[in-house]
Amino acid sequence: MRRLLPVPSTPDEPEVDLVEAYAYPPDRTWLRANMVASLDGAAQAPDGLSAGLSSPADKRVFGVLRGLADVIVVGAATVRQEGYRPPRPRPAYAAARAAAGQLPAPVIAIVSRSLAIDFTTPLFTEAVTPTIVITCEEAQPKGLAAAAEYGDVLLAGRDRVDLGVALDALAARGLTRQLTEGGPHVLAQIAACGRLDELCLTVSPLLTSGPAHRLLAGPTLAEAQAMRPISILEEDGALFSRYVRA
């Protein structure tokens, strides 16, 4: 993977160290989103999933971002459609995570109102740290009981999840290196409540057209959020950008 921005000082700069390139800012709560899009802005490949937009390099970045995070916030639709599994502790990150006081692997935090979640899957039965279910007080009692039996329930909001409240509660638990993997509906709400510090965006060299979601799917933001690029990497025609709040 080669660096395009900041412009390398020498033409033969060595291979980018992704762990270094994507380090979280120290001593603060920071929420980054990791998303992949086609050249024409689709967040879903024609089959409705995101894998068709990815590449080996994108999967490496995806793994690094997980390796650095405390918590991965994700919408229930993405969990259902992408068949989420629990992140495994990776030897490559073990020492750094232990030194930073992090759990051996990031914990998944699913956002759901319906709690139409299969609690018998490995995401619950094999998670190293119990998977967090972020839901609201008015969620169905039966679903709440199941979520509490198999996972770790976080109530944030009365009739729907207030993402700002949820992210604060995760930070209060010490989960301050926050990563969201979407989907577009959850990401739009995170942006709307002013919590999106950084967007790690892979642009894949593909055109798809069709009805796919954009990266953010929700009402127009009250005020457009200005973002500033701090890094752009490239491999096999895909661009890996980091944009932070301007």
Ligand X SMILES: NC(=O)c1ccc[n+]([C@@H]2O[C@H](COP(=O)([O-])OP(=O)(O)OC[C@H]3O[C@@H](n4cnc5c(N)ncnc54)[C@H](OP(=O)(O)O)[C@@H]3O)[C@@H](O)[C@H]2O)c1
What is the contact surface with ligand X in residues (CB under 6 A)?
A: 35-37, 43-44, 48-50, 53, 75-78, 81-82, 111-114, 116, 136, 160-161, 181-186, 189, 213, 217
Complex with ligand X: residue 160 or 173, whichever CB lies closer: 160
Distance of closest approach, residue 49 Cβ to ligand X, in angstroms: 4
Complex with ligand X: residue 39 or 94, whichever CB lies closer: 39
- Which amino acid, one-letter code, is at 6? P
Distance of closest approach, residue 95 Cβ to ligand X, in angstroms: 29
Using an 8 Å Cβ cutoff, are 97 and 71 in contact? no
Complex with ligand X: residue 97 or 156, whichever CB lies closer: 156
Of 194, 179, 181, 184, residue with least CA distance to 225:
194
Complex with ligand X: residue 102 or 143, whichever CB lies closer: 143
* Residues 6+ positions from 6 with CB-CB distance below 8 Å: 231
Distance of closest approach, residue 82 Cβ to ligand X, in angstroms: 5
Beta bridge partners of 72: 108, 179
Using an 8 Å Cβ cutoff, are 62 and 97 in contact? no
- Rounded to 5 degrees, what angle do the CA atoms 200, 201, 206 make? 160
Distance of closest approach, residue 98 Cβ to ligand X, in angstroms: 29
